[in-house]
Amino acid sequence: MIALFLLADVPQDTLRPGDIVKVEVAGTAGFSETGAVDDSGFLYLRLIGKLRAGGLSLSEFKDTLRSHLLPYYKDPLILLSIENLTPPQVLVTGRVNSPGYIQFRKGMTLSDAVQAAGGPSSDARLSGVVIKTRRDGKWESKRADLAAILSGKTEDVPVYPGQVIVVPKAFRLCTMENFNFVMSIANTGMMILALYLLFTK
């Protein structure tokens, strides 16, 4: 569904990578062009070139457009048509009960996102949750202590569309997995020792 917005003082969500934006300048000498916000947060228009769009509100993007269009139009009347092929999402992966994409909503926090993914699994290490954000084509990571957040010791962390949340696995020394790993190393060592003794006789 395409929603048509006249960029007045109407509060809107921020633009994000993947948004398809139709830019129009009303009037007989106006123009109309459609582009997609790329992974780096830029929107390319033939008349203007690359413009930063990701992370900007529609009102902020309107101001950016206006400043670039003033050399071509006097007091341009700007309209945007935004067609989102998918709703804004956050990817929650790792040690959660239902890993995958969850729908973003305004004001969402880290604890909200993890809960929407089924909550942490029993082997999750909540003190080392990683939040990844893509900026200028590169992923930036920061850590958050979800255990401290859930216990009320620290404030919750806001999350944004396009981010990836990774809940790591807790390290436990006495597990069957670790026991099997140690036993495989021991067996390999015994085989090497037996071969050594066999060939040194």
pLDDT in tens, 53-66: 888 888 889 889 98
Mean pLDDT over 150-167 rounds to 93
Which residues lie below 8 Å from residue 183, measured CB to CB, with a gap of 6+? none
Q: What is the pLDDT of residues 113-131, one digit of tens each?
A: 999 999 999 999 999 999 9
What is the pairing mode between strands 20-25 and 32-36? antiparallel
- Asked which of 19-23, 78-82, 133-137 is least confident by mean pLDDT, the reply is 133-137
CB–CB of 97/26 below 8 Å? no
Place 138 in a pLDDT band, splitting at 50, 70 and 90. confident
Q: What is the pLDDT of residues 168-177, one digit of tens each?
A: 998 755 556 6
- pLDDT of 170 reads 86
Look over the chain and give the mean of its residue pLDDT values, rounded to a whole number: 82
- pLDDT of 81 reads 77
pTM value surpassing 0.75: no
What is the number of other CB atoms lying within 10 angstroms of the CB of residue 61? 25
Q: What is the pLDDT of residues 1-41, one digit of tens each?
A: 333 333 333 334 578 877 888 888 887 667 888 888 887 88
